[in-house]
A and B are shown apart, each in its own frame.
Chain A
């Protein structure tokens, strides 16, 4: 079972819808350790993505191109800290599936591995530093494991979402070592990282849409 272009394209609409629903939740997460605007920034960025994708020619079927257009629009127009991070991640993800009109299980793993690599490269992030990387990295590990074990796509995706959720939740007890919240030292502990939370919403909406389950469920 392969994932067609249209599903991936739809995933970006679902991401935007989910972010719009969770805008205030993300702002609230950002309040104690940031400046309560993460929901605004990330929603605005994915609105730009939607606009860019809507401008693609109707005959476009290259998933790599789709992801790269998404990435480029976030880099150019996203702003804040998350612009370069999400933007680089989608650009890198697009590169590894360039020319593909549908995604196999292998492609899906490669895509997210490159996505994680983009975040690490741009933000110099490592696991355990209380960032979006803490959501994405465990998800990639889960995907790789599922692939090696030959699991069905639907199980693979469900487990990946679960791993991402646990990853996001794990940021609560972490000491922030990156970005603005790192300046709080010990006081960053006890709060879920807003970037990790928005990443979870992004990957969950994306992955659920691939499974034709809709996505965009409220947190």
Chain B
């Protein structure tokens, strides 16, 4: 294993220590739990937004703390859901009197831990709703969408509900719009190199030198198809067409495009791939409304990228356009 770490069991703690010092102007850590919250939380009269999950996805999740995005993150161990207590403390820390929205990916660990924390907080009289992200088209067929996992689409959800909360929307409205944003969002990724688990020093999956795998999950979960390496255009076409077919996105639609690097794929490669996405969308008469390219939700040093499309409507356009001031996601 070639990683600049000290002790494997300390990677999350030491990363958090550095992160909190570096971003002390924007956030703070709760004294008793591994939870980071926006510096001015709870914001009175605003619905609080809590997200979280396993570590290893930088800049997700903690890089999205800030005005116009999320208020708190419950931080888990590497690729492991945060426990109930942590989510519960996060909820309490950001409730500004209008309730709290939980945003999480569709993983059984996250769903159970967030769900139990939600019940605990509700029992104490805090209104809590949740939106579960399931944008990965590779992880289950369309007729079993409930079983799909959440990947880069979670960034779109944070952006949309974060903007909505700043506008003063109530909890019900946020759940409604958040749910629609998730439904309108579809992603598919490809990886050619696994990440190395700090705890074991072993790769998260095995793959040949000249192979790539379509649909690999954010934790190295095997995907749907293993193939020989392809050129940027070929693989981008393969992925993008599947994403388009899934919703399906249709001629005349407007979309936000998110090209997400999984950790060690260069921005140079991502722009080459985006070029092809743009051509394919043009061929389908689908108009690009906004574009995001970079590392938004990684899997440590995994090599690969994903393509996310979100179908826009007037409300989603307004929310995507709104400014935000996250640690790693700033938009003017």
Contact = CB atoms under 8 A, between A and B. Distances in A.
B147 A183 contact: yes
B51 to A, nearest CB: 15
B83 A179 contact: no
Interface stretch (B16-24, B71-79, B166-174): B71-79
Contacts of B147: 182-183
Contact of B79 (A28, A35, A77): A35
**Range, interface on chain A:** 20 to 34
A29 to B, nearest CB: 12
A68 to B, nearest CB: 15
Nearest to A179: B108
Contacts of A37: 77-80, 197, 199
Given A27-B200, A41-B77, A80 B109 contact: yes
B46 interface: no
Contacts of A28: 200
Contacts of A178: 108
B222 interface: yes
Interface string B73-110: 00011111111111000000000000000000001110
A85 B112 contact: yes
A76 B85 CA distance: 5
A79 B75 CA distance: 10
B139 interface: yes
A79 B82 contact: yes
Interface string A164-192: 00000000000000111011100100000
Contacts of B139: 183
B211 interface: no
Interface centre among B85, B140, B220 (most CB of A within 10 A): B85
28 contacts: A27-B202, A31-B200, A32-B222, A34-B221, A35-B220, A36-B200, A37-B77, A40-B77, A75-B84, A76-B85, A78-B83, A79-B81, A79-B83, A80-B76, A80-B77, A80-B109, A81-B81, A81-B107, A81-B108, A81-B109, A83-B81, A83-B112, A84-B112, A122-B112, A123-B112, A180-B108, A180-B221, A183-B149
Interface of A: 24, 27-28, 31-37, 40-41, 44, 75-85, 122-123, 178-180, 182-184, 187
